[in-house]
Structure 1
Amino acid sequence: MGSHPKRIFITGASGGLGSALARHYAGPGICLSLWGRDLARLSSLAKACEAAGASVEMRSLDLGNVEHALDAMLTEDEADPVDLAIFAAGLGDIRAAGAVVEDAGVVARLGMINFVAPAAMAAALAERMAGRGHGRIVMIGSAAAFHALPFAAAYSGTKAGLARFAEALRIGVRRHGVKVTLVSPGFIDTAAARRTGEARPLSTQPDVVAARIARAAALGQAHAIIPWPFNLLRWFDRVLPRPLRERLLLALSPAGH
């Protein structure tokens, strides 16, 4: 396979980053399996990727049904083995205005979509890849995983869990020829992000992030932080005394939250 995968599996393909990844990889000789929640956007993306020369399969399902998602993914892999899997599906949410904590249902939902589903699917596919002696897995986390955000505890917490899982999986399967890359992006300038109307410093275009993810996967990079200034924020969070760090995190809460 080298650094040129032919069979690529992408979850979250109907979202801004997932669709940018699909477009980045689309080309002659490439087979894309695109999973996403929005069937209309997924269909439009599939046509664009086919126009670029790729063959495309698409699937719209709820990753909250982990057993169904696992069965579907492994059936696809059995029919045509996956070279590169990118788990880009995820949900972002924050505490409701005026609430003390996040709704328990929201916490459960984010836990399932942001951690349980991608972790279980990555583990199942890594086992298959290890048996073949090669494969690449990319797990899309978030720079929010570096910080205990009181207004987004479920999001930052699930992404932190995914980051630790990705690191452990990478260590466990690398001797079997499988490479796992964790990507921790900051703000991405997607349509969904723009609808919030909030200022997002260091926001990066999806196609730029997709290209950097592809490069990190090709190199077998363990962890890619995009853009690089978020790496400085990560270290700043670590070295700042706890009382000052907590005061700063509370000050970051959006108005009314």
Structure 2
Amino acid sequence: MTKDASVTRILCTGASGALGGALASLHAVPGVHLSLWGRDRTRLGLIAEKVSHAGAEAQSFCLDLTDGQAAIDAVLSQDKEAPFDLAYLVAGIGDTRAKGDLVENPELVLRAAQVNFATPAAMAAAIAGRMAERGHGRIVVIGSAAGHHSLPFAAGYSGSKAGLARFTDALRIAVEPYGVSVTLAAPGFIDTPSTRNASSSRPIELSVEEAARRIIEAGRKGMRHYVTPWQFSALRMVDALLPARLRDQLLSKLKP
């Protein structure tokens, strides 16, 4: 992918996952340094090796985002050492209600809130503050089209992504006057190993490479809220316009 002249140092969380790895790989050109965060040490190492072979510099950092304070401390430390021009906050878990359960496991809901919302939001605030002081920077937060809908089998996931969406929009308004752009990217279904295992019904699915390319372009354009594919924007409007009782009936029939 063509190098962005204004970007030399990039943070990418979730780099051991399919989407984070694809974003990192597309930015891997000579002259770029990528700080790659992930939970899976083995897969993180493979992505770092791929990035290095493409001519970029790679630094791997393994951390579970349930430890929010450690994540804040680490990202501020790395930014102090060499300031980030661009940050992709990709990490998240998509676990849903187990078969046979009436509601989601409370520990699952808590983990989703920590990994999908609390820690990435805190990290975004930390990085945005530094970027605002410097007068430039770009942050791309990965949400989900699911954050626009009250999914009864995935209340923890959709709720955490909805919270992340509202926070990201508020952060964008706060730091935009200081030269910092904040984009919320809310993709629909992406063809990854985890989504294949989680669900057999994935309409309008994107390849992970295509999703990554679209998200990168949305960030470059400084879009405030990018939903892809476009059909999920239409579904969002339908959800908002339907009578409440009909909407609830339709949502109650959805399965993982």
**TM-score when normalising by structure 2:** 0.97
Distance 2:248 2:163 in 1: 20
**Counterpart code for 1:25:** H
Equivalent residue for 1:181, pick from 176, 183, 186: 183
Give the alignment of 1:1-257 within 5 angstroms. 4-196=6-198, 198-254=200-256
**Counterpart code for 2:13:** T
SS of 1:35's partner is: strand
Per-residue deviation at 1:150? 0.7
Distance 1:48 1:3 in 2: 21
Verify the 8 A CA contact 1:173 1:179 in the aligned structure 2: yes
Distance 2:42 2:29 in 1: 22
The answer for unaligned runs of 5 or more in structure 2 is none
SS of 2:98's partner is: coil
Q: For the structure 1 residues 194 and 136, does the alpha-carbon distance in structure 2 shift closer, same or farther, using more than 3 Å as the test?
A: same
Verify the 8 A CA contact 1:145 1:160 in the aligned structure 2: yes
SS of 1:138's partner is: strand
Per-residue deviation at 1:195? 2.2
Per-residue deviation at 1:153? 0.4
Cα deviation code 1:58-100 (max 9, x no counterpart):
1111111111111111111001000000000000111111212
Per-residue deviation at 1:4? 3.5
Per-residue deviation at 1:198? 1.0
The number of aligned residues is 254
The answer for unaligned runs of 5 or more in structure 1 is none
Cα deviation code 1:207-227 (max 9, x no counterpart):
101111111111111011011
Verify the 8 A CA contact 1:3 1:218 in the aligned structure 2: no
Distance 1:14 1:205 in 2: 17
Verify the 8 A CA contact 1:126 1:173 in the aligned structure 2: yes
Moved over 4 A (4+): none
Distance 2:53 2:95 in 1: 35
Distance 1:253 1:202 in 2: 17
SS of 1:90's partner is: coil
RMSD: 1.2
